[in-house]
């Protein structure tokens, strides 16, 4: 099985609880994974850590930090630009879960964190898969719907889901992140 390199972006969503299952499935399917997190995702990432402490060390091994880029700025050595090195390494990128906030930033080319900067730096010949996860009302917001329409019109972006069902907040409707198996299946197409 040929290894494929994938950047996995994690954003602030309750669907982050599927992080370890997603990473395990990606690795079983021949992906070498590097994870980028947003600041908002850490509340959810930490809640997963407390329930699955043995997974912490594996996660830290594949976690990529923008701090490395900051410290590299003091280096006189060329090529020490972390987000550029990552996109050169990667065959593809997956943002799952993708919050309304991060999707909207990507649509408007706002690069104010390590994840959105990396997404903006991805060459157009590489695909970025986006698995949205949010409340049904956020998904149906007219401004957000316009952002999704723009995103879907760009060939390099592939949207996976969202699914319809019972949401963590108790609401029912569209906005649930696609299943891990559906995400991995789309990556393998």
Cβ neighbours, 10 Å, residue 122:
20
Out of 89, 169, 172, 188, pick the active-site residue: 169
N-to-C CA span, the chain: 15
Whether 169 sits among the annotated catalytic residues: the reply is yes
- Which residues are known catalytic residues? 169
């Amino acid at each position: 099985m040929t290894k494929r390199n994938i950047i996995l972006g994690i954003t602030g969503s309750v669907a982050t609880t599927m992080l370890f299952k997603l990473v395990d499935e990606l690795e079983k399917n021949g992906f070498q994974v590097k994870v980028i997190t947003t600041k908002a995702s850490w509340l959810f990432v930490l809640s997963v850590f407390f329930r699955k402490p043995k997974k912490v060390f594996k996660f830290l091994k594949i976690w990529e930090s923008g701090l490395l880029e900051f410290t590299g700025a003091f280096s006189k050595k060329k090529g020490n630009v972390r987000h550029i090195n990552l996109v050169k390494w990667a065959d593809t990128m997956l943002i799952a879960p993708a919050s309304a906030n991060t999707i909207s930033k990507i649509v408007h080319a706002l690069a104010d964190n390590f994840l959105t900067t990396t997404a903006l730096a991805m060459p157009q010949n590489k695909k970025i898969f986006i698995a949205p996860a949010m409340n049904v009302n956020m998904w149906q917001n007219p401004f957000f719907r316009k952002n999704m329409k723009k995103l879907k019109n760009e060939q390099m972006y592939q949207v996976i889901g969202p699914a319809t069902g019972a949401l963590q907040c108790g609401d029912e409707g569209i906005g649930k992140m696609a299943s891990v198996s559906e995400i991995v299946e789309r990556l393998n197409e």
